Amino acid sequence: MGATLAALSGINNISGPGMIDFESCISLEKLVIDNDICGMVLRMVKGIEPRDDFPCLPRFEELLRDDHLLISKHTRKYLKEEIYLPGPVINRANNARWIEEGSSTMDDRAHREVERLLQSYQPSPLPGDTQDALVDIMGAYARLNGQDALPERAS
């Protein structure tokens, strides 16, 4: 609710995702849950944009009558822009399906997602000259604060 209220009032930088215990520590599980919440909030404040190519009323009535609204070219064209599709942590299945699929809690799903993300993580390598420049900057600050050298650099 805090993120929703902040976003609706125009605030675009909110602290708190992943934080627990009055922001004294962080939970990776809460972070993946909050990521989906933030995605939904951002989609909500985006609003609804009228489309110039929206079908005229007779076409719209035909799509509704023939049960083709959700599979029409127009709907498919804008679907990913207009609907926020949360990740595997948010379960929108009905109760019977949820039970059939093992009754996993949001905590269970968040933990599995954290494990998946950690297992598949690949750091984005920085170019060598960028790494060298960062080491030079950190080394200068280390010397300024009485540290003779930085720890050995991992290769």
3-class SS string, 38-63:
HHHHHHHHHCCCCCCCCCCHHHHHHH
> Would 152 be classed as within a structural domain?
no
Range of the structural domain that residue 70 is part of: 52-81
User: Mind listing the pLDDT tens digit for each residue in 5-46?
Assistant: 999 999 888 788 899 988 889 999 999 999 999 999 999 998
Highest mean pLDDT among 8-12, 48-52, 151-155: 8-12
Least trusted range by pLDDT, from 45-49, 57-61, 141-145: 57-61
Q: How far apart, in whole angstroms, are the C-alpha atoms of residue 109 and residue 118?
A: 14
48's CB contacts (< 8 A; 6+ apart) are 82
Are 21 and 71 within one domain? Answer: no
Phi, psi of 97 (to 5 degrees): -70, -40
Are 43 and 74 within one domain? Answer: no
- Quote the number of domains for the chain: 2
> Would 138 be classed as within a structural domain?
yes
Are 94 and 139 within one domain? Answer: yes
Q: How far apart, in whole angstroms, are the C-alpha atoms of residue 110 and residue 88?
A: 8
Q: How far is CA 44 from CA 7, 20, 37, 38, 81, in A?
A: 9, 25, 11, 10, 12
DSSP single-letter state for residue 125: P
Q: Are 53 and 74 in contact (CB under 8 A)?
A: yes
User: Mind listing the pLDDT tens digit for each residue in 86-128?
Assistant: 899 999 889 999 999 999 999 999 999 999 999 999 988 899 8
Are 72 and 27 within one domain? Answer: no
pLDDT at 154: 65
The model's pTM is 0.66
> Would 149 be classed as within a structural domain?
no
27's CB contacts (< 8 A; 6+ apart) are 18, 19, 20
Mean pLDDT of 133-151: 91
Least trusted range by pLDDT, from 31-40, 58-67, 125-134, 140-149: 58-67
End-to-end CA distance of the chain: 44
Report whether pLDDT(140) > 90.
yes
pLDDT at 64: 80
Task: Give the closest residue to 24 by CA, choosing from 12, 37, 15.
Answer: 15
Are 92 and 121 within one domain? Answer: yes
Burial (CB < 10 A; 0-12, 13-18, 19+), residue 87, is middle
